[in-house]
Amino acid sequence: MVIFEHELPTPGGLRRGPGRAIRWCAAVPLLLIAFVGAPLLVLAELEWASYLAVDKLYGAATWVPDAGELLVLGQVLGVLYTVILVLLIILRHSPRTWPKLALIATVPISLGTLVTYDDFPSENPPSAFERFVVGTPFLTGAVAIAIGLAASYAAARILTSPLALDVVNGKLDLTIRLRGKGRLRIRHDRLMLDKLRFPGGAPRQGPPKYSTRVTQLGIDLRDVHKVETGQFDSATEYAHPNGATQPLSPGPGLRVVGTHQQWLLPLDDPEAVSAAINRRIATAPAARSMWVAGAYAYMLIGIIGVAGAIVAVVTTFTQAKPSYLLGALFYAAIGFGGLAAYSKSARKIRKMQDEPAGGHHGRLDDPPPTWHATV
């Protein structure tokens, strides 16, 4: 069966699903646990451990941080959550990255739990429970990290699987595992193929000036000319133009033909995946997103710089410290420089993904002999 990009396919092969509203109602509490609840657990434990340590070491009835400590804590949390918020906005369509963002929310704060107290005076010894709380706070940090990862991963799974019509009609990335090796990602604006096998090892993925090949391949949905279901008759390997090889096992599969590439994908449910791709093609945006994988170091530097500038400006007006304006200008220069470098690198990497070095071997209209399209 051949479906071209201008057709809006029927939901054949796709279940209706529970609906996006129900999925989001289940996922939002998990995301709040991952990005707010887990860090608050660490901060509460640190506050409790510090209070017990000060109470036993110095006999203080209460321990209250001074204004300077609160200012530093507020600045650190301000930069941290500004970075997380910006990354969530940028990667809002990529749920597979949310567990990594949850690590950003919990790991820096959990580093504070590595500080322990064990030098208590003999005249005021702590109880066994207090010694446990004060001496092993890192356990709370480890638990918080695990909670953040599990909650964010569960939220991503709820929103994107199983493959159903309500999921396809949204804009979140859909991940399809291939038989053997490889992974197809159906984005809202393009198809991505990664986790490929490279004979002799994968090339370095990074800024184009350091790499002549990419580990990921991409086809914009607007450039997809044909999505074809079929069968592979025998086991063989298909060579991609970036040097990767795709093992093709006998069984059902999918053939995707774009302007510069064709992909042969061994899939267990090609009808459902074909319907998902074509429905995304029918609603693909005209504008092409600039955010692509690769050179993320530039993007992180830029976001951290902008976040630091924002926090410095806020501190200038709230704490009446004009000297912070110089820091704001410094951070702003770093931030916009990093974002400019990322933008330039992202455009080059995207072109390399869409038009891999070496071109395509053979005509795009000619499938290999082992492929037979479904009539």
From its phi and psi, is residue 362 left (phi > 0), alpha (psi between -120 and 50) or beta? left
Amino acid letter for position 137: P
* DSSP H or E run through 236: strand 236-239
CB 245 within 8 A of CB 198: yes
> 341-365: per-residue pLDDT in tens?
877 877 777 777 777 755 444 456 6
239/248 Cα distance (integer angstroms) = 10
> Rounded mean pLDDT of 204-231?
73
Amino acid letter for position 119: D
* DSSP H or E run through 29: helix 20-32
> Rounded mean pLDDT of 130-137?
69
126/168 Cα distance (integer angstroms) = 57
Q: Would you say residue 8 has pLDDT above 80? A: no
> 320-335: per-residue pLDDT in tens?
677 777 888 888 888 8
